[in-house]
Structure 1
Amino acid sequence: MSHSMQQPQYGPPQFGQQAPPPVPMRNGLGTAALVLGIIGTVSGLIPFFFWLAGILGLIALILGLSGRGRVKRGEAANKGVTTTGAILGLVALILSVVGAVLTFKAVDEAVDEINKAATGTTASKEPAAGKSDGAAKGDGAAKGDAKGKGAGLAAGDTAVYDDDLKITVSAPKAYTPSEFAAGHTAGNKAYEVTVVVENGGKKKFDTTLLTTDARAGKDGVNAEQIFDEKVGSGFSGTILPGKKSTVRFAFDAPTAAKELTVEVSPGLTYDASQWELKL
């Protein structure tokens, strides 16, 4: 072979000649995945922030997987950071799904409660013990006839609600307020009634929102509730299934009043029931 056909020979680099620069490590994807994964996971723990956790978690997972690819190719050295970011991104996605389910469930329950509050739970009439069905019809309505009206109840009758909550108001009797009673006007008469609440349902009943009001006479003037050391404390706490709670109330009425209308409202999701009491 001729001398002109031979390949040129290169010797080792001479002193002072620079070697090719190394490939720079690009660690940005792993760091970004870690930061977004942390923020997404924290967002997933906050109610109603499931949407933010889902978005950040998805981005963190994608960046983390891309960062691991760079690590395998030798373009990045932050394997631990990248892996942690990808894992946190996955955790944030899981939390976002759980948060979405819980949020939608809470919203659905809230809508149901609003619908109940709008329609109101109605009551049927249960005549007082010893009163015949015919007599009950003469009073205004028999059991079932009064359903949805929340009125037409006489002394001793029981309002029975759809959830088996039962409320009974006794006949009024004269009451003598104490010297320092509030709500009593000199010259008026005071009358006491007993209100019994029985929980016949399967869930405990909270009496916090239960209110009792009264009107007196044909004109329906407001009958002030009387407060002293014996009456006026009202209901408190909860009533367990199968249990009762009894409270005495006293109301101030003009001397000429011949009837007292007592209205009991068990709460926001119930219709109020009224008792027409003879004085």
Structure 2
Amino acid sequence: MPESQPSWPPAGGGYPPPAYPYPYPPAPGQYPGYAPPGVANAPKNGMGIAALIVAVAGIVTALSVVGGVVLGIVAVVLGFIGQGRAKRGEANNGGVAIAGIVLGVLAVIAGIGCIFVYVGIWRTAGGGDYVDCMTKAGSDTAAQQQCTDRFREHFENKFGSAEAPRVQESDSSSLMPA
């Protein structure tokens, strides 16, 4: 008996491919002529944040004068740049930029105020006389030492001892009960 063979369609199918009247539809969320969703211009908040950070650093270093004045000025400049970006809608942290400006101005004022304090202390301590004495002493080490000793004595008379207070050592056995 002859073997029966299944009747399969010939290779290549014999069926025509389905005909779509339009090209394939776009993937979900993608429409021709529009930007993909979720892609938006991120706000440029870096200048405002940098202004605040630099301003805080300026206030912390205001006693060094240079730190307060220089960092304060940098903070004010960065703050104005950040505020400009916020006004144009490029950033959304205008308040942070304003805080950087205000704290930067305070750092500059504190740094300049420290200059006046340091100059006052220098004058009260006799710093000008010390510089004059050292200039006259030239390279004579004995005369330079005499100038330094006079300055130290004058400083101690005005402000108290220039040395750190000394702690009196006590016998540790007197602290322990018998």
With normalisation by structure 1, the TM-score equals: 0.34
* Structure 1 runs of 4+ with >6 Å offset: none
Given candidates 64, 75, 80, the residue that maps to 2:95 is 80
Aligned counterpart, 2:31: 17
Aligned counterpart, 1:51: 66
Verify: 1:106 aligned to 2:121, yes or no: yes
SS state at 1:75 partner? coil
> Where in structure 2 are the equivalents of 1:143-162 lying within 5 Å?
none
Following superposition, the deviation at residue 79 of structure 1 comes to 1.4
Following superposition, the deviation at residue 105 of structure 1 comes to 2.0
Query: How far apart in 2 are the matches of 1:26 and 1:63?
Result: 13
Verify: 1:61 aligned to 2:76, yes or no: yes
Deviations 1:3-40 (A, max 9, x none): xxxxxxxxxxx973163343221111011100010110
**How many residues are paired up?**
108
Following superposition, the deviation at residue 108 of structure 1 comes to 2.5
SS state at 1:93 partner? helix
Which is richer in helix? 2
Deviations 1:207-229 (A, max 9, x none): x99xxxxxxxxxxxxxxxxxxxx
Following superposition, the deviation at residue 109 of structure 1 comes to 2.5
Which ranges of structure 2 fall in alignment gaps of 5 or more residues? 1-25, 134-145, 151-156, 162-178
SS state at 1:16 partner? coil
Q: CA RMSD in A?
A: 3.1
Letter in 2 for 1:32: A
Which ranges of structure 1 fall in alignment gaps of 5 or more residues? 1-13, 121-204, 210-279
Which is richer in strand? 1
Following superposition, the deviation at residue 43 of structure 1 comes to 1.4
> Where in structure 2 are the equivalents of 1:1-279 lying within 5 Å?
16-17=30-31, 19-20=34-35, 21-44=39-62, 46=63, 49-110=64-125, 111-112=127-128, 114=130, 118=147
Deviations 1:99-149 (A, max 9, x none): 11111222223315647985x8xxxxxxxxxxxxxxxxxxxxxxxxxxxxx
Which gives a bigger RCO, structure 1 or 2 (Cα 8 Å, sep 6+)? 2
